[in-house]
Amino acid sequence: MRFAVAHKTATYLMVGFAYLAMTTGGALSPMLSIAGFLAMVVSWWWEPPRIRFEKWQTAWTVASVFALVYAVLTAIVTGDYLGVGGQFLLYLIVAKSFNRRAARDWQQMYLLSFLMLVAGSVLNPDLAYGLCFLGFVISSTWALTLFHLRREMEDNLLVKHAADGGTHRVEVRRILDSRRIIGGRFFLGTGLLSFAVFLGAAAVFLALPRVGIGFFLKSRGGMTLAGFSDGVKLGGHGVIKNDSTVVMRVEIDKRYGGREAPEIHWRGVAFDHYSNGKWTRTMSAPSSDETSKLQVGPVVDRRYWWNGGKVASPSKIDELAEASVRQDVILDPLDSDVLFGASQPTIFEYQHVVRQRKPVGAFNDEMRLHHTGQIRYTVYSELAKPTPEQLRAASGPLPRNFGVYLMLGPEITDRTRALALQITASHSNNYDKAIAIQTWLKNNATYTLVLRDPGGQEAVDFFLFDRKQGHCEYFASAFAVLARAAGIPTRNVNGFLGGEWNEYQSYVAVRAGDAHSWDEVYFPGVGWVTFDPTPPADLDVLGRGGTGWRAKLGRFIDSLRFQWNKWVIEYDLSSQLALLRSIGHAIKGAAMAVKGAIVTAKDQIVEHWPFALPLALPLGWLIWRRVRRRGAADPLTAARGKHRTRSTVAEVYLSVAKSLAKAGVARDAATTPRELATRMTQRGEPAASDVGELTELYYAAEWGGRRDPAAEDKAMQLARAIRATLDAAKRAKR
Amino acid sequence: MPAAPAPAPLSSTDIGAVRKLEDAIATIVRGKPEAIRAAVVTLLARGHLLVEDIPGVGKTTLARALAAALGGTFRRIQFTSDLLPSDIVGVSIYDQHGKVFELKRGPIFANVVLADEINRTTPRTQSALLEAMSEGQVSIDDATHTLDTPFMVIATQNPAEHYGTYPLPESQMDRFLLRISIGYPAKAIERELVKLRTGGDPVAALTPVVDLAAVRSLQDGVETIRVDDALVDYAMTIVEETRRHPAISVGVSTRGVLAWYRAAQAAALAAGRDFVVPDDVKSLAVPCLAHRLVLAQHHDSLGRARIDAERLIADIANRVAVPT
Amino acid sequence: MGLWARIRRRLRPPRRLSFTREGRLVVVLAVGVGFAAINTGNNLLYLILGWLLSFIIASGILSEIVLKKLDVTRRPPPRVYAGEPFLMEVVIANQKPNRASFSIEVEDLQGKTPIDKRCYFLKIPAEKTQRTSYRHTYARRGLYTLTGYRIATKFPFALFRKSRDVDAPLEVLVYPARVTVQRPAPKTTSRGEATADRLGRRGEFHGLRERRSGDDRRDVHWKSSARTGRLLVREYEDELARKVVIGVDNALPEAVREAVKDGGLTPAQEAAVSAVERAISVAASLAASYLEVGWTVELCARGTHIPAGMGRIHEARIARALALLPYVGEEVAFAEIPKVVESVLVVPREVAAQGRPAATTVMDV
């Protein structure tokens, strides 16, 4: 490839990757990003001799002033310094790519691309950033190396090019057009270099300890990815959209999350008060602040709340954690600061990053934690449901403040209340009553995503008697109202249902479209139990667990995202410690495995040696040939004439020479055997005289062409003697 | 030239003769076995020896002892700046009494000729000597006269002197088979020599141990010494390296390789073998090749040039793998 | 060298590292990103920091690899004259079997400071040699020692310049500047007659005389010898008459000599030194000129004497002596200038000194 073209290509690749790193993820206006990208593509051809830069000088200056003013004003007005900064960077790189004149301009392009990369780290913390980063590393190595060579060459016109005769002054142009400087080997070499740089970067990334100092804490960027509404409002019309954006990824044991496992209700928001079609949390609801805070790790908090019972000791809480199902959740930022967990969650664990996180006041056994970006935490949940017998037998007084769960506003119609009593008339305990209501709803209403405005009518009444169709919020609200009317303490819970099991990384991907609404009923002495009145068969599951190749691909990409989030974005001190521990285990495991493998191999060979032989021979011959050829790399030191058939005495000598070499008396290729013997005699080494005699026999046989059986016998005798002397010397040394 | 008849294989008496020759010389020239071996090897290989050395270390003694041990004639030519070719080869002299021109043979008509300080004479005179060495015959006034056989020239150069010297150009150095330097004898030997210097000429007391015919047949026998192909490859590798080496402007020529080959054979014979071993080749590398090189870097003094060339050859020989 | 110094040298080969402007910028960026990363806990910034650090380290390793196994030979031309620019050839050999070296700079060192003539090689393929040369001028004659050379590279990213100093002393003998001179008319004659330049090796036939031992036998004039019954030889004009002694006064007052050693010269001292230099240059050029036409030249100066000789080697000897001729005090005696032969004494006009011998011609320069 031509030198100049190679340099330009590498630079554009580098800038392109940095550009994509900043703009994918849509933090900056997509239109602007695409326009900028196209402009840069055009700028590839914008160079002399086609274009004269001087002509466009004033135009660019005007444009730059305009852009600067625009950026400053917009930033001040909107306060979004980051976004405006990113847009200004965009303009700068486009402007620079149209003005590539001297070395300085290229340098500025590199600097700008670095700044774009840094900007992208804040604007675009997605998997796409990782891929662009990799591309950036590789192309930057090429680009900067070529840039250096180009600049050096332009500075030093006096360049000679590979010749042993004649020296010519070479023009810069010719070098730039030359194909000989940069060949395939150069790219291979720099490719390997950039790979090594990437590995180095990864190593530094993993190894640098994450201990925050937190001087100037800035919010951790990240935009709200999915709109999860923190309230339930019945009414309105339209069509509920099925949003397939993943909102959280939960690592959970396969038994509970796998494809065959029953769907999990991911509980998040809980409401106690219903009025005029709206569910809200009231201050009079029992607060879930009755939690205890425990230090579990250096910066880890564990929150456990008891429902009216005693505060458990730390060891008891540990036992409870052991007995519960553990989930590791990575939650993408939503409009709410609620944390989700499988029903029923009992313990939450989260790590402080940089600064102590303050839990937010929560009610109705919600767990809220202020966070402004992605967050990672651990939940322990009790998934096992109590048996119906237990629930039927539950009885006792309601805890303090639980009256809110029985309250109904005056707008609830009479026929609603009557219906409630009618459904539950034949049952004596709350459990059977709740089941009856749930069954009635399933049988008498159907699920739909098309909403109709109830107008002035009470929403539940409209649903129960007129429309008889609705989505999960209607079902849940209706259940809660009916249950309360029947005297059963109930509350409405929002969260997500189910999700997609990702077999690549063993986690459940929960999507925005999985948002769901259901209820919880309180049984004194047992606790809150989940009731989901929405008919399951009618739920529009989002291609959950599809097996087509498209679904598999989608899951695979999501698993990459998951990995990215887990190991890069959310990489923290506990991850580092876990990594160190697992590395230690892996090394130990590998060592044991290797030892085991060697032992079994040995046993196998010993057992099956007749079969191994025909395999071993050709293999051994191939290896031996390779080794011989390797030794003949340097023509000066290559053993010439190896095609000669050697005499017996020569073979004997050569094997003795090997023994001597092992004993420390090595002969390098350029020393003659006789010189070696003389050296041994001068140093007074044992066996020196025998070696000398053997050398002379070898000479006579090999160079004199004598084939004498007597000499061969003598040679072998000498060889034995020499080996004996060497062994004796080795033993004496020990 | 018609092919010479294949020489007869060597007999053990022939081989023993070389040992006797060396021993005889060693009684006179003490403590310098390498120099004696070099002289004997040169003789056997029908070559000529160049000794580059400081004065007074026994060059003359060596030459005279060699001649005496052979039973041959010895002549010494002292080269001066006004020496003429006719002083070497001879001249026709006008005899005043007989009124005829008489041929007076020059000192080159001898078996062993010591050409002392050959770098002090003009190039014209040098070339007269060198031509005689290579042709084995001289022409005096349009008549050619063959020289005696065996015929060996031991030429000397004093490396230290510069004044008014004409050092041999490299193209002429090629005509010498080996170049050695004798150097001072070992301290013990030197002390003994000083004590033993009783007077009288020990060389005169040396009786010949071989005769010229035996030497001639030995010289023929050198060609029968067996040389394995691997050794030729080894030698060629070294020679190719001299031609490639960046510090060497012109490497060893083909004539040099042939000379080395012959010298190795002669060395094998001198050691009492009828086959050449790698040590023969390797040990002769420096004496045989160093003076044939033209170095890239110009040296002002002969001594430094010699050291440099010898070092280069030694480096190359210590890098090339010996055949086994 | 002490044991500690030896250990240190073994552990750390002498390398020199200097950051370029871009290198400093990258370090500042790395520090900045590191600071930001630690403060905000943003893992992607850690990633960028990792890349920057790895980048810097890779740069160091690669520049090390590229500098290895490079052998440089400097070849000055056979003769270097003061004040005349010459081309010093620099030959660099890449002895690595399979790796090329990129972006190599070579400069000669005198003492510890480089000469400031950098030779640049863009790419030296594996096992290949490349040549270039730089132009340099030595203002003054004398023996200069280039103590070694420095190989440097900014490969691969021009973040810093890594260089290695190699000790390879090279002596460059700078001969006195060449000037054009006229050989002065010869004042001495042989046989009482002034003769013009002679043709042939020995001059014109002069006459016959009886043969003495040592005479060239070819000079025997046979015809006359046969007639007279004695051996008679032809006689030519004697070569010994074509001999000249060149003298040059290299005396300088002590103050000036001290000033030259220290390095600070007043204009008057400069003038004196230049005058002596001029004289030496004239003497060198004269010697060369005489030797060219086949004369025998002898050199006499204060404290230096080169006996008579002729030929190319002798010219080299005289030129070398004049190149190295030191400044001495006027108390140092002049080498004796023989009386009978032609002699030329070159004296610097502006320097007065005692003890100048007499000569047949005195040149004031």
Here the ipTM equals 0.81
CA B289 – CA B309 distance, rounded (Å)? 9
**Taking the CB of residue A408, how many other CB atoms lie within 10 A of it?**
18
pLDDT at site A105? 87
CB A142 within 8 A of CB A187: yes
Q: For the domain that residue B167 is a member of, what is the CATH number?
A: 3.40.50.300
In a domain, B1, yes or no: no
Please answer yes or no on whether A669 and B231 come within 8 Å at the CB atom: no
Min distance B316 CA to chain A CA atoms (Å): 9
pLDDT tens, residue by residue, A562-617? 888 888 877 777 778 778 888 888 899 889 988 988 888 888 877 777 776 777 77
Give me the mean pLDDT over the A450-479 stretch: 84
User: In terms of Cα–Cα distance, which of A124, A441, A268, A332 is closest to C44?
Assistant: A124
Alpha helices in chain B (DSSP H): 12-28, 33-44, 59-70, 85-89, 123-135, 170-173, 187-196, 212-222, 229-244, 254-270, 278-283, 285-289, 302-317
* Residue B236 pLDDT class (50, 70, 90 cuts): very high
Comparison of pLDDT for B93 and A230, the residue scoring more: B93
pLDDT tens, residue by residue, C203-232? 556 567 677 666 667 778 777 777 777 777
Percent of chain A, pLDDT > 90? 7
Are residues B149 and B200 part of one domain? yes
User: Which chains pack against A, by 3+ Cβ pairs within 8 A?
Assistant: B, C
Q: Which class for A25: exposed (0-12), middle (13-18), buried (19 or more C-beta within 10 A)?
A: buried
Which residues face C86 on adjacent strands?
Answer: C136
* Residue C31 pLDDT class (50, 70, 90 cuts): very high
**Taking the CB of residue A322, how many other CB atoms lie within 10 A of it?**
9
Are residues B282 and B181 part of one domain? no
Q: Which domain holds residue C80?
A: 10-175
3-class secondary structure, C15: strand
- A569 contacts on C by Cβ (under 8 Å): 43-44
Which residues face C190 on adjacent strands?
Answer: C193
pLDDT at site B288? 94
Min distance A24 CA to chain C CA atoms (Å): 15
Residues A488-509, buried b or exposed e (16+ Cβ, 10 A)?
bbbbbbbbbbbbbbbeebebbb
Domain end among C175, C192, C223: C175
Are residues B240 and B196 part of one domain? no
Q: How many CA atoms lie within 13 A of C204 on its CB side?
A: 7
Give me the mean pLDDT over the A507-528 stretch: 86
* Residue A543 pLDDT class (50, 70, 90 cuts): very low
Q: Both ends of chain A: CA-CA distance in Å?
A: 63
Instruction: Report angle CA A492, A497, A500 to the nearest 5 degrees.
Output: 170
The yes-or-no verdict on residue C122 having pLDDT over 90 is: no
Instruction: Specify the range with the lowest mean pLDDT, choosing from A343-347, A429-433, A447-451, C186-190.
Output: C186-190
Please answer yes or no on whether A568 and C131 come within 8 Å at the CB atom: no
What's the full length of chain B, in residues?
A: 324
What single DSSP character describes residue A227? -
Are residues C88 and C213 part of one domain? no
The yes-or-no verdict on residue A218 having pLDDT over 50 is: no
Q: Which class for A116: exposed (0-12), middle (13-18), buried (19 or more C-beta within 10 A)?
A: buried
In a domain, B53, yes or no: yes
CA B268 – CA B285 distance, rounded (Å)? 14
Q: How far is CA A232 from the centre of its chain?
A: 35
* Residue B43 pLDDT class (50, 70, 90 cuts): very high
Q: Both ends of chain C: CA-CA distance in Å?
A: 51
Are residues B249 and B218 part of one domain? no
Domain count of the fold of chain B: 2
In a domain, C181, yes or no: no
Task: Please state, rounded to an integer, the average pLDDT across all residues of chain C.
Answer: 81
Q: Which class for A435: exposed (0-12), middle (13-18), buried (19 or more C-beta within 10 A)?
A: middle
Q: Please provide residue C207's backbone torsions phi and psi, each rounded to the nearest 5 degrees.
A: 170, -170
- A353 contacts on C by Cβ (under 8 Å): 41
pLDDT at site A651? 85
CA A507 – CA A258 distance, rounded (Å)? 8
Domain end among C240, C255, C283: C240
Helix (H) or strand (E) segment spanning residue B112: strand B112-116
User: Which single residue is written with the structure tokens 């986690």?
Assistant: A507
Are residues B146 and B197 part of one domain? yes
Please answer yes or no on whether B321 and A637 come within 8 Å at the CB atom: yes
Give me the mean pLDDT over the B239-248 stretch: 88
Q: For the domain that residue C128 is a member of, what is the CATH number?
A: 2.60.40.10
The yes-or-no verdict on residue C1 having pLDDT over 70 is: no
CA C149 – CA C105 distance, rounded (Å)? 10
Are residues B218 and B231 part of one domain? no
- Strand C361-364 and strand A345-351: the pairing is unpaired
The yes-or-no verdict on residue A323 having pLDDT over 90 is: no
In a domain, B49, yes or no: yes
Give me the mean pLDDT over the A692-713 stretch: 85
In a domain, B59, yes or no: yes
Domain end among B180, B205, B222: B222
Helix (H) or strand (E) segment spanning residue C306: strand C304-309
The yes-or-no verdict on residue B239 having pLDDT over 90 is: yes
DSSP one-letter string for A407-457: ---TTS-HHHHHHHHHHHTT--SHHHHHHHHHHHHHHH-EE-SEE---TTS
Which residues face C246 on adjacent strands?
Answer: C299, C344
HEC sequence for A113-142: HHHHHHHHHHHCCCHHHHHHHHHHHHHHHH
pLDDT tens, residue by residue, A333-349? 777 788 888 888 877 77
Q: How many CA atoms lie within 13 A of B28 on its CB side?
A: 28
Give me the mean pLDDT over the B85-92 stretch: 83
Please answer yes or no on whether C316 and B96 come within 8 Å at the CB atom: no
Task: Please state, rounded to an integer, the average pLDDT across all residues of chain A.
Answer: 79
In a domain, B2, yes or no: no
Are residues C233 and C270 part of one domain? no
Are residues C209 and C307 part of one domain? no
Structure tokens at B126: 């040098």
Are residues B267 and B136 part of one domain? no
CA A649 – CA A655 distance, rounded (Å)? 10
Chain A contact residues (CB < 8 Å to B): 635-641, 644, 650, 654, 669-675, 699-700, 702-705
User: In terms of Cα–Cα distance, which of C166, C171, C176 is closest to C140?
Assistant: C176
pLDDT at site A542? 44
Domains of chain A, each with CATH number or no CATH:
3-159+170-207 (no CATH), 248-564 (3.10.620.30), 572-637 (no CATH), 646-733 (no CATH)
Q: Rounded to whole angstroms, what are the CA distances from A457 to A276, A422, A451, A463, A475? A: 9, 22, 14, 10, 17
Are residues B237 and B127 part of one domain? no
pLDDT at site C191? 41
* Residue C238 pLDDT class (50, 70, 90 cuts): low
Are residues C25 and C101 part of one domain? yes
Domain end among B173, B191, B222: B222
The yes-or-no verdict on residue C240 having pLDDT over 70 is: no
CA A676 – CA A688 distance, rounded (Å)? 9
pLDDT tens, residue by residue, B191-201? 877 777 656 67
Cis peptide before A344 (omega within 30 of 0): yes
Are residues C50 and C39 part of one domain? yes
Q: Both ends of chain B: CA-CA distance in Å?
A: 38
Domain end among B171, B196, B222: B222
Q: Among partner residues B273, B274, B321, which is closest to A639 by beta-carbon distance? A: B321
CA C261 – CA C265 distance, rounded (Å)? 10
In a domain, C189, yes or no: no
Structure tokens at A149: 């060579």
Are residues B188 and B152 part of one domain? yes
Are residues B249 and B167 part of one domain? no
CA A596 – CA A482 distance, rounded (Å)? 66
In a domain, C107, yes or no: yes
In a domain, C121, yes or no: yes
3-class secondary structure, C287: helix
Q: For the domain that residue B262 is a member of, what is the CATH number?
A: 1.10.8.80
pLDDT at site C13? 62
Are residues C265 and C333 part of one domain? yes
Q: Which class for C139: exposed (0-12), middle (13-18), buried (19 or more C-beta within 10 A)?
A: exposed
Q: Which domain holds residue B24?
A: 7-222
Comparison of pLDDT for B232 and A47, the residue scoring more: B232
Are residues C113 and C213 part of one domain? no
**Taking the CB of residue C55, how many other CB atoms lie within 10 A of it?**
23
CA B312 – CA B173 distance, rounded (Å)? 17
* Residue A217 pLDDT class (50, 70, 90 cuts): very low
Which of A54-58, B265-269, C177-181, C313-317 is most confident? B265-269
The yes-or-no verdict on residue C193 having pLDDT over 50 is: no
CA A365 – CA B252 distance, rounded (Å)? 98
Are residues C356 and C245 part of one domain? yes
What single DSSP character describes residue A42? H
pLDDT at site A729? 83
In a domain, C275, yes or no: yes
Give me the mean pLDDT over the C272-280 stretch: 89
Which residues face C343 on adjacent strands?
Answer: C245
C93 interfaces chain B, CB cutoff of 8 Å? yes
pLDDT tens, residue by residue, A82-106? 788 888 888 888 888 888 888 888 9
Please answer yes or no on whether A704 and B241 come within 8 Å at the CB atom: no
Instruction: Report angle CA A25, A28, A30 to the nearest 5 degrees.
Output: 75
Comparison of pLDDT for B297 and C145, the residue scoring more: C145
Domain count of the fold of chain C: 3
- Mutation target to probe the B interface, by most B beta carbons within 10 A, among A636, A640, A658, A678 is A640
In a domain, C140, yes or no: yes
Are residues B230 and B216 part of one domain? no
Which residues face A501 on adjacent strands?
Answer: A508
B96 interfaces chain C, CB cutoff of 8 Å? yes
CA C224 – CA C230 distance, rounded (Å)? 8
* Residue A646 pLDDT class (50, 70, 90 cuts): confident
Are residues C147 and C67 part of one domain? yes
- Sequence-ordered list of residues with C-beta below 8 angstroms from that of A495, at least 6 positions apart, any chain: A265, A266, A267, A268, A269, A340, A515, A516, A518
Q: Among partner residues A118, A202, A571, which is closest to C48 by beta-carbon distance? A: A118
Min distance A725 CA to chain B CA atoms (Å): 24
Give me the mean pLDDT over the A498-518 stretch: 84
Are residues C171 and C74 part of one domain? yes
Q: Chains B and C: how many Cβ contacts under 8 Å?
A: 37
In a domain, B162, yes or no: yes
Give me the mean pLDDT over the C31-56 stretch: 87
Are residues C156 and C19 part of one domain? yes
Q: Rounded to whole angstroms, what are the CA distances from C109 to A55, B247, C19? A: 48, 22, 21
* Residue A223 pLDDT class (50, 70, 90 cuts): very low
What's the full length of chain A, in residues?
A: 734
Task: Please state, rounded to an integer, the average pLDDT across all residues of chain B.
Answer: 84
Helix (H) or strand (E) segment spanning residue A3: helix A3-23
Are residues C267 and C212 part of one domain? no
In a domain, B124, yes or no: yes
Are residues B300 and B181 part of one domain? no
